[in-house]
């Protein structure tokens, strides 16, 4: 896996506070960026499928849901 270095400047007091609490700042930043990348990918995927499905999804006829539930209840 290839990687790059990203440099972030934060106040020293913040880094020291986090380290005193046992937080590995580098790992937390990596984890956050991986989660952010996953969200971006998911958003692109959803947008892609929205375009694919646009105009293809047909609404159910009025009263369909209520009728289906009633039929299901009555069949038991």
pLDDT at 1: 79
Structure tokens at 18: 């986090």
Give pLDDT tens digits for 20-46.
999 999 999 999 999 999 999 999 999
DSSP string, 20-68: HTT--HHHHHHHHHHHHHHHHHHHHHHHHHHHHHTTT--PPPTTHHHHH
Which residues, in sequence order, are CB contacts of 6 under 8 Å at separation 6+? 29, 33
**Structure token pair of residue 14:** 């913040």
Mean pLDDT in residue range 61-73: 92
Spans of all domains in the chain: 12-74
């Amino acid at each position: 896996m290839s990687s790059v270095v990203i440099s972030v400047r934060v106040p020293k007091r913040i880094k020291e506070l986090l380290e005193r609490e046992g937080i590995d700042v580098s790992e937390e930043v990596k984890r956050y960026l991986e989660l952010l990348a996953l969200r971006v990918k998911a958003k692109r995927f959803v947008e892609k499928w929205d375009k694919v499905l646009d105009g293809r999804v047909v609404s159910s006829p009025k009263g369909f849901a209520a009728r289906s539930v009633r039929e299901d209840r009555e069949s038991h």
